[in-house]
A and B are shown apart, each in its own frame.
Chain A
Amino acid sequence: MKRTVPLVITFLTGTFLVISFFVPHAPFGELEQRLLVWYAIVAGFTMLLGVDSLIRAHARRVARTREGWAFSLALLAGLVATVVVGVIGRVQYGSPFHIQSPFMFIYTYAIVPLQATMFALLAFFIASASYRAFRARNWVATLLLVSAVIVMLGRIPIGAAISQFFPVAQEWIMDVPQLAAKRGIQIGAALGAVSMSLRIILGIERSYLS
């Protein structure tokens, strides 16, 4: 019951979706759409589990006044305030995403700057990590270094000011060797995903049940 039923559910839903790909007519095509909607609904509920886990972890830290509890309090306050403001936006404007909604104030003035600055900060860490990793220790590392430098210089005006070689070489690298390797990796990864999906449907791979 505890393991067999989930295995049967996985087998039936997976097999059904594969069949509906080859038989798009009724009832398969229509039921496929229905299953995808159900999938989105069930996935939506998992969000509650994630948020619950986050709240529990930080509420515990606040309750026990552990080190950094004030930051956890700020996290919880931010979460609650965003949800409350979202609900207010829904009630007041019909959508939390309405331009006048206070929810959009949080999105514009808190989420966007925080996210953009966090990713911008990564530029410094990528650069410092690459300084250590990109030393031309062997010919393969040199290739990586040269192609990175050409692409970086080719994408900024100063690169073209130094030489027209950089934008042209950058374009060629992105369109030919970079595309070739990316395509090879994508094909390999897709074939790997197909084989893993088959293993899951056939019940060979069961790690999701643990």
Chain B
Amino acid sequence: MGSLGMIIGTWLAGFLTLAILSFLYKDNPFYKLAEHLYVGVSAGYWLIYVAFFDVEPMLVTPFMEETGVEKWILIVPAALGVIMLSRWFPKTAWLSRWPIAFTVGVGAGLGITANLQGYVVPQVQATLLPMTGFNLVSLNNLILVVGVVTTILYFYFSKAHKGVLGVTAKIGIVFIMVSFGASFGYTLMARISLLIGRLYFLLSDLLRVID
């Protein structure tokens, strides 16, 4: 990309940035234009991304290079993919349930093993913390264990939140609210950081007001 390309690109990026930010004043044609462009360009980007990183290396290239069973077995996923497109024709749309069933089946199978192996077991393991002696580390570990248990119990709705369950659920809501507040603050600061990045781009790259 030459320097002219970079200049054009910077002006384009500057226009699109200002067009999106103009929504802060009110909804206007510039914002609508940028919004629609964002959707169109993103869809095109993901189409190319899937074709280049997914379909080409997993289906097209192996089909051209492999021989024997390894080559012809690829007809199965290709056929499932093509059958998925039967949704375009009302009479054959029901056929698309087969590839959908396949993806749902794989997703469900992975849903069991990946969730147990990736979330439940490691998270439980990480929660079983030592509490040796009366010190700050043990206190924090105790708070962590109480927080995890009471949060889970808060979401237990098979029994009315009365008595012991009521007390634990109330402790759980304390942790949940602190967590939501912290997550909110964290997210907002990330967004502010993005905003600073865009303002820096406008003032530095586009207008060259600051270095």
Contacts and interface: CB of A to CB of B under 8 A. Distances in A.
Interface of A: 2-3, 5-7, 9-18, 21, 34-52, 54, 68, 71-72, 74-83, 86-87, 90, 95-97, 100, 103-124, 126-127, 130, 140-141, 143-152, 155-156, 172-191, 193-194, 196-198, 200-201, 208-209
B38 A10 contact: no
A162 to B, nearest CB: 15
Nearest to B52: A96
A182 to B, nearest CB: 6
Interface in B68-99: 73, 76-78, 80-82, 84-85, 87-88, 94, 97-99
Contacts of B45: 82, 86, 106-107, 111
A58 B30 CA distance: 18
A143 B175 CA distance: 9
Given A77-B40, A144-B177, A194-B111, A186 B119 contact: yes
Contacts of B182: 147-148, 151, 173-174, 177-178
A11 B112 CA distance: 13
Contacts of A9: 98, 101-102, 105
B77 A120 contact: no
Contact of A51 (B34, B47, B103): B47
B54 to A, nearest CB: 4
B172 to A, nearest CB: 7
A142 to B, nearest CB: 9
Nearest to B195: A120
A141 B13 CA distance: 40
Interface of B: 1, 5, 8-10, 12-14, 16-17, 20-21, 23-24, 29, 32-48, 50-52, 54-55, 58-59, 73, 76-78, 80-82, 84-85, 87-88, 94, 97-113, 115-120, 123-124, 126-127, 140, 143-152, 154-155, 172-189, 191-192, 194-195, 197-198, 201
Contact of A81 (B29, B44, B124, B181): B44
Given A71-B32, A74-B36, A178-B178, A108 B103 contact: no
Nearest to B96: A49
A189 B105 CA distance: 19
A121 B181 contact: no
B151 A185 contact: yes
Given A10-B101, A42-B103, A120-B191, 19 more contacts: A13-B101, A13-B109, A42-B102, A49-B87, A86-B44, A109-B12, A113-B198, A117-B20, A118-B38, A151-B184, A156-B189, A178-B178, A178-B182, A181-B148, A183-B144, A185-B151, A191-B120, A196-B108, A200-B105
Contacts of B16: 110, 113-114, 117
A18 B39 contact: no
